[in-house]
Amino acid sequence: MSDLQSRTQIDLDRSDLSAQGLDFNSIPIVDIAALDHADIKERSFVALQIRDACERVGFFYVKNHGVRQQLQHEVYAAAKTFFALPTQQKLAVAITRSDRHRGYCAQGVLNADINNPNAVDVQEAYEVSVELPADDEDYLAGNPMYGPNLWPERPTAFRTAVSAYVDEMVSLGRRLFRGFALALGLEEHWFGDKITKPMGQLRVIHYPPQDGPIDPKQIGIGAHTDYECFTILSQSAAGLQVQNAAAQWVAAPPIDGALLINIGDCMERWTNDQFRSTLHRVINRSGLDRYSLAFFYGANYHAMIECLPCCTDAQRPARYPPVRAGEWTIRNIQAAYAYKPNLV
């Protein structure tokens, strides 16, 4: 069994589609305003809360995050207009026609539960990233994770709103990386030189409502973990479920004014399982079209992900071999997506 398969293999009955009102003790809410406080004691206090959430749950809400709510509304409005376009117009910017991990993903392009080859994710999405020029050296070298974005002609507001949102995600992610460093007992800017050119991928997602009996193999997105460092999530309606240690599914609904953060596989590997990448899925029983904005914050493509010195000792040896961040990301994309980008 490959390292990727062993990491994602789980033992549970996925025919249970109900989200139970159970605790981890629930999903924590962390006020991160003080991450910018001049007093290191105030910043460290926030970091302790982040550490607790990452060790116990792998998910936490953040408030006072600085992302404009009006901008989120603008992105949702543009997304709703785009996904309502005729299929052929959307396929004109299909990711399967692109030379990089950008563009429209029709239903069937992504099936996140790689342990279930017969699963079908009931969603469509649009992938964008940090905008880089056409003369970017990594892009010219054929790297599918870097370069200019692929934009639809309509609606014109899509590019404007989504670009601004990506910029705010990058800014928030850098703040969170400082919090993670303090939470691990590292120098506050330890991650700084590993995220100078981050693989920041925004997936704008549309989940149609699912009513009546639901086939466990055909839900919004199948059970999976995210493979970057962490994810910043905005969601327009309920539907996200998170698995706790007892293999029970806990609802993670939107909270007004808050964003949801979850740890990904790269951070779990970096921290030798101290911070946990938690299994989750989406079942849209809201009765509404559900939209979400999932920003997967990755390290630089060429950064090495290897056990942090603060996360290992004689009694706790490193559990994962070092891996280049970009290679790990593309291997996961190759496993979950219908199209297969090349390793660079």
Segment 40-56 mean pLDDT: 96
Segment 282-307 mean pLDDT: 97
pLDDT tens profile 262-276:
999 999 999 999 999
Segment 218-231 mean pLDDT: 95
Give the distance from CA 269 to its chain's centroid. 16
Using alpha carbons, list the distances in angstroms from residue 233 to 220, 227, 263. Answer: 15, 14, 11
pLDDT given at position 70: 97
Q: Which CATH class is domain 66-171+196-336?
A: mainly beta
Give the distance from CA 221 to its chain's centroid. 13
pLDDT given at position 7: 39
Question: How high does pLDDT run on average in the chain?
Answer: 91
pLDDT tens profile 327-340:
999 999 999 998 88
By 3-state DSSP, what share of the chain in percent is helix, strand and coil, each rounded to 5? 30, 20, 50
187 contacts 308 by C-beta, under 8 angstroms? no
DSSP string, 24-65: SSS--EEE-GGGG-SSHHHHHHHHHHHHHHHHHTSEEEEES-
DSSP string, 73-125: HHHHHHHHHHHTS-HHHHHTTBGGG-SSS-EEE-TTSB---TT-TT-----EE
Q: Report the first-to-last Cα separation within the chain, whole angstroms.
A: 24
Quote the CA–CA distance of 305 and 302 in Å, as a whole number.
9
Band of residue 319 on the pLDDT scale cut at 50, 70, 90: very high
- The percentage of residues in the chain with a pLDDT greater than 70, rounded to a whole number, is 93
Quote the CA–CA distance of 212 and 205 in Å, as a whole number.
22
342 contacts 99 by C-beta, under 8 angstroms? no
Quote the CA–CA distance of 215 and 194 in Å, as a whole number.
42
CA angle 265–18–259, rounded 5-degree value: 45
pTM for this entry: 0.92
pLDDT given at position 331: 94
Using alpha carbons, list the distances in angstroms from residue 170 to 73, 145, 202, 259, 277. Answer: 18, 15, 10, 14, 20
307 contacts 323 by C-beta, under 8 angstroms? no
Band of residue 24 on the pLDDT scale cut at 50, 70, 90: low
Band of residue 245 on the pLDDT scale cut at 50, 70, 90: confident
Residue owning tokens 């009006």: 70
Q: Which of 21-25, 72-76, 104-108, 127-131 has the lowest mean pLDDT?
A: 21-25
